[in-house]
Amino acid sequence: MRRYLLTSVVHAVSVTLGVSILSFVFMHLSGDPVMLMLPPDATDKQIEEFRERMGFNDPIPLQYFRFLSSAVRGDFGTSLRHQQPAMGLVLERLPATLELAVAGMGLALLVAVPFGILSATRRGSVVDYLGMGGALLGLSMPNFWVGIIGILIFSVKLHLLPTAGRGTWAQLVLPGLALGSYLMALLARLTRSGMLEVIDQDYVRTARAKGLPERLIIWRHALMNALIPLVTVVGLQMGELLGGTVVIETVFAWPGVGRLILQAVFQRDYPVVQAAVLILAMIFVVANLLVDTAYRYLDPRIRHA
Amino acid sequence: MPRPESTEHLIGSRVLRKLLSHRAAVLGAAITVVVLLASVLAPWVAPKNPFDLDPARRLLPPVWMEGGTWTYPLGTDHVGRDILSRLIYGSRISMLVGLSAVTISATIGVLLGLISGFYGGPIERMILWLADVQIAFPFYLLVISIIAVVGTGFGTIIVVFGVAGWVIYARLVRGTVLSLRSREFVEAAEALGASSLRVVVRHVLPNVVTPVIILATLRVASVIVWESGLSFLGLSVPPPTPTWGRMLSDGRAYLANAWWTATFPGLAIMVTVLGVNMLGDGLRDALDPRLELRGK
């Protein structure tokens, strides 16, 4: 296990380095990164001064190492729009985005797992057809449309939930559901197929033969094993969830990193885009490392291998 | 003497029979074909010019509601444009971006997957590392950070989606190649002195085509959703070209009194994605029952 952890951490660090290289390359895609960092009306003199001051006349590898050493210290430059450190702006809004992502993930699991179990244990029943039909629709609906339809039904027509903003539990429900809708559908399908695979296994039959109550068989013996593959999917889908916040935060005027990224793109505030994207990518790398470790811990076949 | 039926022909008809007996796949294929036809024949099938504004007829409801008319079957938007015609024209962007981006991604991914699976060594490690690095970026964020630098536009969107989507194909193809390398027919070809290029082109490539086609079909659906998301945010093809995502975004402001403006574009995306997904699932079942792709 210790060796595995060490290898995983080394891998995560090498991926992180790669992410920083890619991010640095993006900055140079436009041909001249200076143009991304100065307002469009900057004079030639200002551009040249800035270029010299920031070291953009230096060789590219030197520029990259300077970028990397600043990034490691959390320095991504100053926001052109807000005149504040870009990193500070991102960190200020990070709790809101994490709150939304956790709500999306939580709601997805809360709905998907019971539906998946019900569909599998009552295969071919109305619940199964409704659940899996719903899941197929969930996989096909863009999350922002789910959000808009949610606003139309629950806010505009029924006046049950607020349309936007952050602060109360009620304000978290619609954006959380919208963000988690795809994951919910995916997890419901996976729980169902996982349960169906497990339900026919010998150890479940043995548990039944021992006369254990059905509820105990489903929850202790079947579900625990069916959930293992779900862990990996949850880790991988974390990226989709973090990426999805850009759209969902826009729909619900949620004051998080996603909305900040979009505003920064429109205001051509590249340092903020870069800081935000790198931070979210880092969170994704760390989350996957944790999920991989949890997966190994949960599955004794791998843990003792 | 009549020529015996070739094996390929037999396999082809078996696959077609299986696909046709798969109800969901037939429905998916029908939806996909209808959307494709609508996008190709848009100028002929759209009842109105999608760009024609008529402020006097803004926010007209669909035909079955009070005040609706057959001239605008699905109603009009906030500046009086025909929603049905804009939906038909909008399918062009969704389909073109979906199909072109997936073609680019699959080409890059298959090439890199073949190289890494067949040659191994430092090249393989480099490609795998690059794949890991790219996967570390949530897809939307990767695309948005490139667009933030290079700007938006029809061509840009296709290239960005195309280049950013290669990883999943490369991993799939590499996996398939690794399992093929130890198979007798590949070993036999190598033993007979066939060049690496010949082995790859004649013996390996035909075996990766099926899983790649299935994956690519499912990915068209994903790209359509992603493109609509970018359109919704105003980061895709610029106006006045109608796109489903932008129609949705425009319609948001009128939810309270004109629900149809944001509902129909969303339905169009959902039905198209559902159709392509069902076709992809059906292809998977018909072409390779052992294969388990999760579509993402």
pLDDT digit string (tens) for A199-251?
878 888 888 888 888 888 887 778 877 788 788 888 888 888 988 999 999 99
Confidence band (pLDDT; 50, 70, 90) for B4?
Answer: low
The domain limits of chain A are 86-304
**Least CB–CB distance from B229: residue in A21, A247, A270:** A247
pLDDT exceeds cutoff 50 at B293: no
A153 vs B183, residue with greater confidence: A153
| Cβ neighbours for B42, distance < 8 A, ≥ 6 positions apart | B88, B89, B91, B92
pLDDT digit string (tens) for B109-139?
999 999 998 888 899 999 999 998 988 888 8
> What is the rounded distance in angstroms from the CA atom of residue A170 to the CA atom of residue A163?
10
Q: Output the pLDDT for position A300.
A: 72
Interface of B with A in 258-277 (CB under 8 A): 259, 262-263, 266, 269-271, 273-274, 277
pLDDT exceeds cutoff 70 at B68: yes
Q: Output the pLDDT for position B11.
A: 64
Whether residues B133 and A27 touch (CB distance < 8 A) is answered with: no
pLDDT digit string (tens) for A265-300?
888 888 888 899 889 988 888 888 888 888 777 777
pLDDT exceeds cutoff 90 at B85: yes
Suggest the residue from A30, A139, A182, A236 to mutate for an interface test with chain B (most B CBs closer than 10 A): A139
Q: Domains in chain B and their CATH numbers? A: 22-43+59-295 (1.10.3720.10)
Q: What is the ipTM of this complex?
A: 0.87
Q: Output the pLDDT for position B36.
A: 96
Q: Quote the tokens at residue A167.
A: 């602060």
Phi, psi of B82 (to 5 degrees): -70, 120
Confidence band (pLDDT; 50, 70, 90) for B5?
Answer: low
Chain B residue numbers touching A141 (CB-CB < 8 A): 266, 269-270, 273
Q: How far is A204 from chain B (nearest CA, A)?
A: 24
CATH number of A86-304: 1.10.3720.10
Q: How far is B218 from chain A (nearest CA, A)?
A: 11
Q: How many CB atoms lie within 10 A of CB B217?
A: 22
Whether residues B221 and A140 touch (CB distance < 8 A) is answered with: yes
pLDDT digit string (tens) for B206-221?
888 888 998 999 999 9
Among B159-173, B186-200, B267-281, which is the least confidently predicted range?
A: B186-200
Suggest the residue from B145, B254, B276 to mutate for an interface test with chain A (most A CBs closer than 10 A): B145
**Least CB–CB distance from A18: residue in B129, B139, B229:** B129
- Count of H-run helices and E-run strands, chain B: 13, 0
**Least CB–CB distance from A250: residue in B233, B274, B295:** B233
Measure the CA angle with vertex A109, ends A106 and A112; round to 5°.
Answer: 145
Highest mean pLDDT among A91-100, B21-30, B202-211: A91-100
pLDDT exceeds cutoff 80 at B295: no
Q: Quote the tokens at residue A266.
A: 């429109």
Which residue of chain A is at minimal alpha-carbon distance from B133?
A15
Contact with chain A for residue B241, Cβ under 8 A: no
pLDDT digit string (tens) for A55-96?
778 888 888 888 888 888 888 888 878 889 999 999 999 999
Interface of B with A in 134-153 (CB under 8 A): 134-142, 144-150
For chain B, first and last CA: distance in Å? Answer: 50
Q: Output the pLDDT for position B84.
A: 96
